[in-house]
Amino acid sequence: MAPAPTFLRITTMIVRERPNAIALLLALRGSVVPEILPHIAFVALFSVAVAALSHYQLIGLQSLTIMPVTLLGIVLSILLGFRNNASYDRWWEARKQWGQMVNEIRSLARVSGALLGEDAPARRAILMRALAYAHALKGQLREENVGEDLLAWVSREDCDLALATANPADAFIAQAGSLLGEQYRQGSLDSMGLRMLDERLAALSKVQAASERIATTPLPFAYTLLVHRTAYVYCYLLPFVLTGSMGWVSPILTAVVAYTFFGIDRLSEHLETPFGRAPNDLPLDALCRIHEISVADALGDVAPAPLPVKNFQLQ
């Protein structure tokens, strides 16, 4: 009997089952709590100081109402909501682009087989360039040296040629384009065939340009300033506003509110640059492995295993 088809699982980021409610409340991995804990602690301490001053009647806060923070709330909610949406859109667009790369490499494999023949050396050479492109782009986006890894797909000579240019990932696409040009001039491809294959390369080039755009164009810095300042003023106003009616409970509430504000602020900041190695970043290593599997299946090679999850996380 045929084996069950196994689903090529590329779970990103934090990999685990939905934990129960209490575990969720205590989870630290993938949470932004560790990073913002000092800020929360400082606000809470400040709030304790204000409560103490008020308790010993060194300052009088009875008359203060919630009004000031309500007024700031309008802009703060616009800014936090906007920044959160914009950052997530960047993260999700980055994931879509790399998801499209999956599809384009599979189609490149399929069409090159139909046009050039499944065993044509040019087909293998082009697909290997596509894999080198993916790995080089990963390296460029993460600012990591992937020079040695590339030798699994291309000769040292071709690799050195690419690394000598300003943009190695694009150089591998250009090499694939040159191979297509050769096939065209030799008559193995007509202009329609050239177009069909080049469309795939153009799509890969588009993925690269979009990835570069996301990696290198942060949200306008003025947003970061405006959000950051408004959130800080808000949180440091809270003790004055809360102490009058809440007394010693005020520091706890201040800390909880600061957690939500600093938390959403920090999370937005993480998602804004989705190509790193932080817990919520995109698993580019695992996606590159998907490409390797697609190409190996298409060429009849032995496909490598999908990347394992380490520490609840894919890279």
Site string (198-217) toward its own copies, x via CB under 8 A? x--xx--xx-xxx-xx-xxx
Long-range pairs for 181-186 at CB < 8 Å and ≥24 separation?
182/122, 183/116, 183/122
Please report whether residue 134 would count as binding its own copies according to CB under 8 A.
no
Least CB distance from residue 162 to its own copies, whole Å?
8
Name residue 28's amino acid.
Answer: L
Sign of CA dihedral 51, 55, 61, 63: positive
CB burial of 18-38 (b: ≥16 within 10 Å; e: otherwise) equals eeeeeeeeeeeeebbeeebee
Map residue 315 onto helix, strand or coil.
coil
Q: Is the distance from CB of 256 to CB of 25 less than 8 angstroms? A: no
Indicate the residue among 52 and 68 with the shorter CB distance to its own copies.
68
Using the rule CB under 8 A, which residue among 46, 100, 124, 309 binds its own copies? 100
Residues within window 155-184 making contact with its own copies, judged by CB under 8 A: 156, 159-160, 162-163, 165-171, 173-174, 177-178, 180-181, 184
Please report whether residue 63 would count as binding its own copies according to CB under 8 A.
yes
Using the rule CB under 8 A, which residue among 53, 124, 188, 263 binds its own copies? 263
15: buried, middle or exposed (CB in 10 Å: 19+, 13-18, 0-12)?
middle
Q: Which two tokens stand for residue 22?
A: 């209490």
Please report whether residue 285 would count as binding its own copies according to CB under 8 A.
no
Please report whether residue 68 would count as binding its own copies according to CB under 8 A.
yes
Please report whether residue 308 would count as binding its own copies according to CB under 8 A.
no
Residues within window 25-44 making contact with its own copies, judged by CB under 8 A: 25, 27, 30-32, 39
| Number of residues engaging its own copies in binding (CB under 8 A) | 155
Please report whether residue 75 would count as binding its own copies according to CB under 8 A.
yes
Please report whether residue 46 would count as binding its own copies according to CB under 8 A.
no
Least CB distance from residue 126 to its own copies, whole Å?
12
Using the rule CB under 8 A, which residue among 267, 284, 288, 295 binds its own copies? 267
